[in-house]
Amino acid sequence: MAIKACVSAALAALACLSAQQAAAAETCPPLRWMTLGTAGGPVPTPDRSEPANLLTADDFSALVDAGDGTVVQLARRGLDLTRISAVFISHHHMDHTGGLPAVIGLRWMNNMPGQLTIYGPPGTREIVDGIIATMGPQSRVGFGLGLGQKSTPPSDSVRVVEMRSGDQVSSGNVKITAVENSHYDESVSGKADRAISLSYRFQLGSRSITYSGDTGPSAAFEKLATGTDLLVSEVIDLDPILASIRKTRPDMPEAVFQSMSKHLSTHHITPVDLGSLAAKANVSRLVLTHFAIPPAPLTNSEARLREGISRSYSGPVDLAIDLQSFDVACK
């Protein structure tokens, strides 16, 4: 009888613990960021995949940028596209959109349920329409994988929401805010159809993750990041990367090099500027990604990155690698 009583007590304790864990999950759902690809710039590298991230917030899962290799990176973590209901594109450079055709096409081919919503700056609809057009020859067959089950048209599997600075959207308990940053040349600011680059803030209750996309110093991005729990930002190791370009591209005309130098120095963010921004915005934790560094191990740049940031920002700094996860704890 004593043994039975002990077993019963143990089972009751386990049941109580399970109930407590379930209650905790309801009051504090997960808020997680995974860096699927952390390379910077449109140059393939052997050790880092192109820019892509996975946001998990409560029961909402979204890709944030989708560079080449995105679906492979998901598979390496045992994840598939069935859990992805949205994609947020920061801007339309190919290193951030090159994996989008596979995301759209493989979901359709495998008859995955639900409609994928793709958010991005103006021009996103044109890109998605182009991807859908490339699927025409296969879709005219009338089947996804050709297994005897008729598929819906590819265009029915995806919708596009174009966003501008200050726009907000919601999905369940998650609120997403977009602002225009400083990645593109201000000389085209008067054009109605100009390209814009967006930074995003993902808010779940009192917790938040803010993502830079590609940007230089930006007052709008700094304001968006104010008080955020996790700031995920690009960074550039400027002088070494310019020296590397000089060395590897001696054929580059001087005018082209000077234009590239201006772009890299004003449309991307240095460690010193990033540290200043993070300190002013009072962010709790800084995660570096999209490493615009010379083609060498990150350790060659790490000391410079940390030193520059630490001039203003004293909080924790992580140098992300591919397939790394960052959780925002409950408050």
Identify residue 55 by its one-letter amino acid code.
L
How far is residue 83 from each of residues 107, 161, 169, 270, 281, measured CA to CA in Å? Answer: 11, 19, 19, 35, 32
Q: Other CB atoms closer than 10 Å to residue 127's CB: what's the count?
A: 17
Cβ atoms 41, 95 nearer than 8 A: yes
Q: What is the model's pLDDT at position 26?
A: 64
Predicted confidence band of residue 142 (pLDDT cuts 50, 70, 90): low
Q: What percent of the chain has pLDDT over 90?
A: 69
Lowest-pLDDT range of 111-120, 254-263, 271-280, 282-291:
254-263
- Which of 124-133, 135-144, 249-258 has the highest mean predicted lDDT (pLDDT)? 124-133
Q: 67-113: per-residue pLDDT in tens?
A: 999 999 999 999 999 999 999 999 999 999 999 999 999 999 988 98
* Residue 102 structure tokens: 């596979």
Query: Going by DSSP bridges, is the β-strand pair 168-171/174-180 parallel, antiparallel, or unpaired?
Result: antiparallel
**pLDDT reported for residue 17:** 45
pTM (whole model) above 0.85: yes
Predicted local confidence at residue 23, as pLDDT: 46
pLDDT, one tens digit per residue, over 219-242 is: 999 999 999 999 999 999 988 888
- Which position has the higher pLDDT, 263 or 278? 278
Q: Where do the domains of the chain lie?
A: 30-327
Contact 118, 131 (CB under 8 A): no
Count the Cβ atoms, other than its own, within 10 Å of residue 122.
15
* 188 has pLDDT over 60: no
Q: Above 80 in pLDDT, residue 135?
A: yes
What does the pLDDT read at residue 9?
54
Of 307, 231, 317, nearest to 270 by C-alpha is 307
For the chain, the average pLDDT equals 89
Q: How many CA atoms lie within 13 A of 303 on its CB side?
A: 3
pLDDT band, very low/low/confident/very high, at 160 (cuts 50, 70, 90): very high
Reported confidence tier of residue 16, pLDDT bands at 50, 70, 90: low
Rounded mean pLDDT of 55-59?
97
Q: Among 119, 105, 132, 117, which residue's Cα sits nearest to residue 65?
A: 119
What confidence tier does 117 reach under pLDDT thresholds 50, 70, 90?
A: very high
Q: Which CATH number describes the domain made up of 30-327?
A: 3.60.15.10
Identify the pLDDT of residue 151.
67
Q: Of 88-97, 136-145, 193-202, 246-255, where does mean pLDDT reach its minimum?
A: 136-145
